[in-house]
Structure formats: structure tokens, C-alpha cells
Amino acid sequence: MNRSRRVWLQGALASAALLPFGAAARAQSARTPFPQWVASFRAKAMAHGISARTYDSVMGTLKPDTSVYALQRAQPEFQEQTWQYLNRRVSDWRITTGREVAKQHASLLARVEHAYGVDRYVLLALWGVESAYGDPVVQQKYMRPVFPALAALAWGEPRRRAYWEKELLNALTIVERGWSTPAQMRGSWAGAMGHTQWMPEVWLNMGVDFDRDGRISPFGHPADALAGTARYLLERGKYRRNEPWGYEVKGKASGKARTYAAWRAHGVHRADGKAFDRPHASARPWTPVPGGPSFLLGPNFFSVRSYNPSMNYALAIAHLADRIRGGGSFVHPFPGSERTPTLAELKELQQRLTKAGFDTGGVDGRVGSDTMRAVRTYQQKVGMEPADGYAGLKVLARLRQAP
């Protein structure tokens, strides 16, 4: 599953890019032994308001999760084209499940939307992409204890030491406040946790006790997670109530930002033929891939992007939100793209791969790293190029041809 990248991503990826292979491990081994580092870090925690009881209970017998060094320096395992990236995230499963979850949590979503003004479908899309709507299987299969990971990074990652130390202190503060326990705090290798993948700093400073149970939690019932995420988009992303994120458009859209009314006057219209909802709102043009669909992007697109500094990520969230709402696919296709496989087609693909000896980690119509690895291994075996791990219609067609 994808980990959230909000506050930590730029720094984490920057340090990974700068770190040569093995450098983090060498830096770690050259430093103070871990037990001595834990003893010396105690004073910093005390100065930060962490009690001796909390520090000793969390850190006293902790062993560092040094596997995070390899995870940090690893480059992405699969190189996706933009249309593949979007198809995998705006999947049939996420759309249909998102609509079910929207009905299940309609009252909560309405209250969060009223309180913060953030479109409930944007929150659903973030929730779906970040944790598959809080699926406990994701939590168990893809997440790890946060304290051993953060402690390893604070102790042995030299280029962002101050950052990781701060996040470790933030995590300790969460325990100190009684909001969670170390056993409950499972997340990504970098410490992002819960339904919408909060880093400890976000948990502390953007979290909301929306269910009024006396603590803030990104786990369990999604009230706090959704409210805190809405607050993040509003306060840090400068989300604007009742404004669209943007639109797919037709016509020559280039140059600087202007109002939708001005774009219309220049011959740029919504690709679906409808009128612009807020003609006096401003938007800027963007074409992700030459020859592909073009968009006008409003401020709320960049509010979503504040959650993860990737244009493709923001487009995936915006498009998934529209699809959950009931909207259709993009009118203009990406060059060389396939349509998104249906849930039934992906299940069939997984079944056929499994029967052929390629373990997809289950048959559920959801494409995670296990399915992608199985697809890539299959592509390599049968000579399909590129062997990109994309679970699409071409791979399914090839599997159907097999005896």
C-alpha cells in the first residue's frame, strides 16, 4: 500500500536520494551503540516533557528496526506510466467500496464536511488510497511497529537526524498524553499511521477529537482521522469551501491562471460538455502527458497536493473523488492507455496467475505489491515487454491464451 508523504516525504526522499548504497548502515555502525544512544537521548526527551516513566517503558528494552535503512534508500520497485498510476488507484474496487463507505458513514461525513468545508468525496478518496478505507488486513500485512522504526532512524540516519529525532519525540508525546500505546502505533517505515496515514507531528498538531472520547486517534473509528485530515487540508492546504478541484477540459489551455469564465471566452470548455460551476474562480492549465487529457486546476487541487507532493497523486485523489460521487472516466484517454480493469477482471487475472504458480497474495480484485510482483514475474517468463508489473487487460488476455 502507499504510505502518506505529507510532512516527511520531501525530506525522506531527498535523504534517500543522497544516500549511497550502504551509507546509512555504515553511519549507524560508526555511531554510539544503540543502548548508549537511548540513554543519552533520555535527557532530550525529559526536556521535551516526556516523563521518565513513559520514556523508560517505551525505550528501555526497545530494539531498533534497522530494516528501515534499506527501505529508505530503495527506489520505487515499479515504474508506472501516468495512466497506470491512475488506473491502479482509481480502481473498480475503490470506487464501489467508496460508494458503500459513503452510505455507511454518511452522517459522520456530513458533520465533518459541515465543520471544515472539505468535500466528503475528497476525504473518501484519501481514505481509500491511503489505507483501503481502514482495512485491517492492510494494517497487519503492510505496517510495522513505529517506535523501533523511528528510533532506528533517529539513531542511525545521519542526514535527517534532527527530523527523525523530532518525530520520535512527537510519538513519545502521544504516549505521554495517553492517546495511544506503542503496541497500537503501527505504521509505515517512516512512521505514518492510521486510516489516513498521519505522521506523529500531524497527529499532534492537526488531530481532532471529533468523537469526543477524550483522546485523538487515527485508528479505530474513523471520526478523528477524517476530521483531522479535513483540518489539515483546510489549514495547511488552504482548502476553499464549495470550490471544485478543477476539470478535464477541451480546447487549447496554456499560459497563466485565469478565471473559468475567461477560459471559456478563450474557447476552453469542460470535456463533459457541462458548464463551469464557479465561473469566477481561478484555475491554471495542466497537461500531464503530451497528447493526453488536459485539465484546469483550481486551488483545491493543490490543497490535496499538500497531502502528498505529487501531481499524479493529487489527480488520482481528485478523480477518485469524482468517480465515487458518480462521475465518469476521463473523456480523452492517455496515449497508449488501457481502460481500467473491472473488479471481476482483476479477480480473474489473480486466479489465473495463482493457478499458473504466481502467488498474488489472494484473489480479491485489489492490486497490491504481491499482485504486481506476480504479474512482473509472469511477464518476464513469457517475454512480455515491458515487464512493468501492471495488472491490466493485456496481461489478462495473455493469461486467457495459456492452456
Q: Is the pLDDT of residue 1 over 60?
A: no
Closest alpha carbon to 279 in 252, 255, 298, 256: 298
Q: Which residue has the higher pLDDT, 140 or 55?
A: 55
Q: Does residue 386 have a cis peptide bond before it, meaning omega lies within 30 degrees of 0?
A: yes
Q: Is the pLDDT of residue 8 over 60?
A: no
Q: Which residue has the higher pLDDT, 13 or 386?
A: 386
Which residues share a beta bridge with 286?
A: 295
- CB atoms under 10 Å from CB of 238, counted, come to 12
Q: What are phi and psi of 329, to 5 degrees?
A: -70, 170
% of the chain surpassing 70 pLDDT:
91
This prediction's pTM: 0.91
Average of per-residue pLDDT values in the chain: 92
* Torsion 290-291-297-300 (CA) sign: negative
Q: What is the mean pLDDT of residues 86-99?
A: 97
221: cell is 473509528
The pLDDT tens digits for 132-159 are 999 988 888 889 999 999 999 999 988 8
Closest alpha carbon to 361 in 391, 341, 386, 381: 391
- Which residue ranges make up each domain of the chain? 246-289, 343-401
Closest alpha carbon to 317 in 98, 109, 154, 81: 98
pLDDT at 74: 66
Q: Is the pLDDT of residue 73 over 80?
A: no
Q: Is the pLDDT of residue 7 over 60?
A: no
Amino acid, single-letter form, for residue 63? K
